[in-house]
Structures are given as structure tokens and as C-alpha cells.
């Protein structure tokens, strides 16, 4: 895999990925379980219009995909093979901003369990499951402090938890004249425990972090990409578009809007998510 794809997947997995212990019963010894790892990336056809998630096994030569939902509209990329995980996880983890510490703990614990014993008891299984949940809440952030973000990671993370908002509305001036005004911005939404991602976006690109709809558990990073921020938008958007796989067309519309300096046709109040 190219390093740019690894960095992009690190961002997308920081947003929509999970790593969990995978237990399989030992058919020869009752009450014992083999311990594996399962890495999973989830997507939906509503966002992934060109089938990127389904193409990942062919691009990486790792894992497989499955579908779920009433109309099979959700697709998952799943990797469970030991050799694949040992090759993929260390490369992914070093570029992660949010889940690196937790995923690294999972990987090291899995390796340790393989050395000590091939199986665990039901009680040990329950303890491992709880320890994994606790680690996800407490071990948040990159393995090493980061001073900047790669554009591929930014594209991946925003493809997952980002919202490209591009809308117009009609307003009246104090003289009663009607005019159209565009609101163009980028947002990213995260649970309060996953703040490192939003804080790094703010550190690198400015903007602000606020509470979402008075919910104490959800935070939103937002950065204007409107006319007063045209120079930033035309620097930021093309670099993200270069790596984006799921929301590229939305980014391109914003770039076109700024470059043409014209109103781009679109439904009133449309938000691109």
C-alpha cells in the first residue's frame, strides 16, 4: 500500500473504525476460547457512492467485506487474519490521532495472550472485553505528540466524521432589498472523549470547538470556508480533495464556487454531509 492510502485509512478508521477482541470457542475443550482480533471499518451507500469500502480488500489485498441492513445498504471491511493484522495495524496506528493508544494496547495485549496461552476461560473473556471498553475511554490520542496533520489523514477523518456545509438563503437589507447569501464551512463532530482529533484540526487550521445542541457529550469543530476565508478555502480544499474518497464531489463544488466567484445552483438550505 502507498503511504498516502495508509494515512487516509488511519483518518477514516479514527472516525468510523473499530478494533475488538474476537473470541472463538475451542471445540475440543469446553469453556475455553481462542482469542483473535477483528478490525472493522463501516460505511454506507448513502455516503460511499462509488463503492470505496467494498474496493479496499482489492486495494490492500487484506480482509473481506460484508453487508448488513434492511436493504444491505451498510458495508463493512473486516480484517481478522493474523498476518494481515500484524502487517497493517502497526502502519495504521502510527498515523492515528484519536485511537492510536487504544489500538496499540489491543495489539500488544493480543500478542501477549498468544505467547502466554492459546485460549482463555469465560471469566478471562469477560475481563478482556471490559478492559477493552475501559481502554477505549481512557487511552485516547496519538502514540507520540503531533505538531501537524497529514493531508491524507485530514481527508480520511473528514470523509468519516466531517460535514461539508454549503447552503444559501435569502435575506433583506435594512433598505428592504432582497439578496442571497452563501454559508460555506467545514465541520467535524466527535464524542467528548475523542477531542484530540478536533483539537488538532483547530491547532492546524483554526476555527472553533463548541458543544453540539447543548449536549455535554458531543463537540463540533467548525471552520468558515466562505468569502472572507476564500484564500484559506482555496488552499485547504484542493489539498483535502487530492486524497478524499467519499466526499470528493462535495469538496469540488466548493472549490468551483470560489474559483468561479459565481453562485452555484443548489437547493435552498442544502447541507452537504
| CA pair distance 158, 152, nearest whole angstrom | 10
CATH number for the segment(s) 151-260? 3.10.28.10
- Whether 3-138 shares its CATH topology with 151-260 is answered yes
Q: What percent of the chain has pLDDT over 90?
A: 79
Beta-bridge partners for 23: 35
The CATH number of 3-138, from 3.40.640.10, 3.10.28.10, 3.30.2010.10, 3.40.50.920, is: 3.10.28.10
Give the residue extent of every domain in the chain.
Answer: 3-138, 151-260
The pLDDT tens digits for 97-118 are 999 999 999 999 999 999 988 7
The answer to whether residues 233 and 144 touch, using CB atoms and an 8 Å cutoff, is: no
The secondary structure of the chain in percent helix, strand, coil, rounded to multiples of 5, reads 45, 25, 30
Helix (H, G, I), strand (E, B) or coil at 258: helix
Sequence-distant (6+) residues with CB within 8 A of 70 are none
Q: What percent of the chain has pLDDT over 70?
A: 91
Residue 147's CB: how many other CB atoms inside 10 A? 7
The pLDDT tens digits for 132-148 are 999 999 999 999 999 99
Amino acid at each position: 500500500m502507498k503511504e498516502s492510502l495508509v494515512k487516509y485509512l488511519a483518518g477514516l478508521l479514527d472516525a468510523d473504525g473499530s478494533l475488538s477482541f474476537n473470541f472463538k470457542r475451542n471445540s475440543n475443550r469446553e469453556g475455553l476460547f481462542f482469542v483473535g482480533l477483528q478490525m472493522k471499518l463501516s460505511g454506507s451507500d448513502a455516503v460511499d457512492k462509488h463503492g470505496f469500502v467494498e474496493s479496499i480488500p482489492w486495494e490492500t489485498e487484506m480482509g473481506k467485506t460484508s453487508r448488513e441492513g434492511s436493504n444491505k445498504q451498510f458495508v463493512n471491511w473486516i480484517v481478522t487474519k493474523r498476518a494481515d493484522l500484524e502487517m497493517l495495524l502497526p502502519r495504521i496506528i502510527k498515523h492515528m490521532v484519536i485511537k492510536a493508544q487504544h489500538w496499540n494496547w489491543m495489539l500488544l495485549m493480543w500478542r501477549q495472550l498468544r505467547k502466554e496461552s492459546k485460549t482463555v476461560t469465560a471469566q478471562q473473556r469477560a475481563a478482556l472485553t471490559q478492559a477493552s471498553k475501559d481502554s477505549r475511554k481512557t487511552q485516547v490520542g496519538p502514540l507520540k505528540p503531533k505538531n501537524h496533520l497529514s493531508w491524507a489523514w485530514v481527508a480520511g477523518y473528514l470523509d468519516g466524521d466531517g460535514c461539508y456545509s454549503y447552503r444559501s438563503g435569502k435575506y433583506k437589507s435594512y433598505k428592504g432589498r432582497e439578496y442571497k447569501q452563501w454559508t460555506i464551512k467545514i465541520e467535524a463532530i466527535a464524542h467528548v472523549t475523542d477531542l484530540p482529533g478536533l483539537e488538532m484540526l483547530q491547532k492546524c487550521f483554526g476555527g472553533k470547538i463548541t458543544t453540539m445542541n447543548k449536549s455535554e457529550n458531543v463537540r463540533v469543530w467548525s471552520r468558515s470556508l466562505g468569502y472572507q476565508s476564500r484564500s484559506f478555502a482555496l488552499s485547504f480544499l484542493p489539498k483535502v480533495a487530492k486524497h478524499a474518497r467519499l466526499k470528493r464531489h462535495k469538496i469540488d463544488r466548493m472549490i468551483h464556487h470560489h474559483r468561479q466567484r459565481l453562485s452555484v445552483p443548489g437547493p435552498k438550505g442544502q447541507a452537504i454531509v
